[in-house]
Amino acid sequence: MGEIITGIPPTNSESGLDFPPFIIDVINASLSINETKTIRILGSFFHPNSIVELPSLDITLNSFTYISSEEIEASVTSSNVEDLFDVIVKNNTLTSGTSGANAIMVELVTWIDLTDAGPPLPNLRARDGVTVIRDEFGLYTSGVGNWGNWIKFEDFIWQRGTNQTFSFVFVKYGGSSIMFGIGSDNTNEGSSAQYFEAENVMYTYSDKIGPFYGGGTGNNWSQDFNTISIAYNTYYKVVFRNDGAAGENMEIHQVTQSDWDTNIATVATGVFTANGSQTNLMPFGTLGTDANYRIVAFKIEMS
């Protein structure tokens, strides 16, 4: 077996097969089961004749392409096994050792169905006086109006900085005003401006979307992506990349009632310019008191 490098790599001032490769990061390395993706292996001392290996039999290396001495692209396909998988780069007998350990994650990523056909939500918590209603079309609330209304999905907490993408699907039947997106476990639950207690939420009114609001307690911000028009009785998916943080993408896609993964059309995209402030994040909404909308489903997955 070749030399195993476990510390800080030497500088990449020159490269060749006589130097042990080192893996610094693997990008786009989160897969669902039975999925094919192109991953980017970043590091040093890669060579056109370097070899990529995936030691496990539960994930398949389809092909790889040398990009530069600091990057290799590889096509991989997961199986139905959920686990963390190693990536190894070889220069003849010299290997990247453990620097690519647990670099690929395979997990079954599913939508949380908020219709009455979905799973129980035992830790869905709402402000006193708010009633949460689920029917065949999704979830909505009644009771406390204005913007003091809130709901928190406390079974679905993740930590800021763990590169999660949060998506949700909604539909509107009329002119209600609602906000939904990312909140936290540290909010002023008595505030009448819950949109500023949120970390990053989409605002929709009538047949329009925007602005987005958030920042968390004491860090109020809003961002307008110009007027985004939507249609009633049409399903939309809103995507917050990497916690909805500054510099990350916002996407809005049209989907169907039965297929939330396939994008029929892209309605809007943009880049967030401000951050939230809290660490423990979760799905969060400040919703209207009428039945002219439904929050249909959400999903949390590695970016």
Q: Are residues 70 and 210 in the same domain?
A: no
Residue 9 lies in a domain: no
Residue 235 pLDDT more than 50? yes
pLDDT band at 82 (very low <50, low <70, confident <90, very high): confident
Q: Are the C-beta atoms of residues 244 and 166 closer than 8 Å to each other? A: yes
SS3 content of the chain, % helix, strand, coil (to 5): 5, 45, 50
Task: Specify the pLDDT at position 7.
Answer: 40
Residue 8 lies in a domain: no
Q: Are residues 173 and 84 in the same domain?
A: no
Q: Are residues 158 and 298 in the same domain?
A: yes
Q: Are residues 129 and 251 in the same domain?
A: yes
Q: Are residues 272 and 152 in the same domain?
A: yes
Q: Are residues 138 and 242 in the same domain?
A: yes
| Domain termination residue (choose one: 49, 80, 106) | 106
Residue 183 lies in a domain: yes
The model's pLDDT over 112-159, given as tens digits with 9 standing for 90+, comes to: 999 999 888 878 999 999 999 999 999 999 988 779 999 999 988 888
Residue 49 lies in a domain: yes
- Mean of pLDDT values over 87-100: 96
3-state secondary structure 225-275: CCCEECCCCCEEEEEECHHHCCCCEEEEEEECCCCCCCCCEEEEEEECCCC
**How many other CB atoms are found less than 10 A from the CB of residue 105?**
16
d(C-alpha 129, C-alpha 159), whole Å: 29
The CATH number given to whatever domain includes residue 291 is 2.60.120.560
The CATH number given to whatever domain includes residue 98 is 2.60.40.10
Give me the percent of the chain exceeding a pLDDT of 70. Answer: 94
Residue 1 lies in a domain: no
Q: Are residues 116 and 71 in the same domain?
A: no
Residue 288 pLDDT more than 90? no
- Mean of pLDDT values over 38-53: 96
d(C-alpha 62, C-alpha 100), whole Å: 18
| Domain termination residue (choose one: 56, 77, 106) | 106
CA distance readout (Å), 239 to 20, 140, 257: 40, 20, 17
93 phi and psi, to 5 degrees? Answer: -90, -5
| Domain termination residue (choose one: 90, 106, 122) | 106
The model's pLDDT over 8-43, given as tens digits with 9 standing for 90+, comes to: 444 444 456 889 999 999 988 888 788 888 999 999
d(C-alpha 297, C-alpha 112), whole Å: 5
Residue 3 lies in a domain: no
Q: Are residues 94 and 117 in the same domain?
A: no
Question: Cβ neighbours of residue 233 under 8 Å, at least 6 residues apart?
Answer: 171, 172, 173
Between strands 30-31 and 104-106, the pairing is parallel
Task: Specify the pLDDT at position 4.
Answer: 36
* Domain hosting residue 161, numbered range: 112-302
Q: Are residues 119 and 256 in the same domain?
A: yes
Task: Specify the pLDDT at position 47.
Answer: 96
Residue 13 lies in a domain: no
Residue 11 lies in a domain: no
The model's pLDDT over 159-207, given as tens digits with 9 standing for 90+, comes to: 898 878 999 999 999 988 999 999 999 999 999 999 999 999 999 999 9
Q: Are residues 204 and 263 in the same domain?
A: yes
Question: How many structural domains comprise the chain?
Answer: 2
Q: Are the C-beta atoms of residues 43 and 20 closer than 8 Å to each other? A: no
Q: Please measure the distance between the N-terminal and C-terminal CA atoms of the chain and give it in whole angstroms.
A: 34
Mean pLDDT for the chain?
90
Q: Are residues 49 and 70 in the same domain?
A: yes
pLDDT band at 79 (very low <50, low <70, confident <90, very high): very high
> Worst-scoring range by mean pLDDT, 87-91, 110-114, 115-119, 287-291?
287-291
pTM above 0.95, yes or no: no
Q: Are residues 129 and 277 in the same domain?
A: yes
Task: Specify the pLDDT at position 29.
Answer: 87
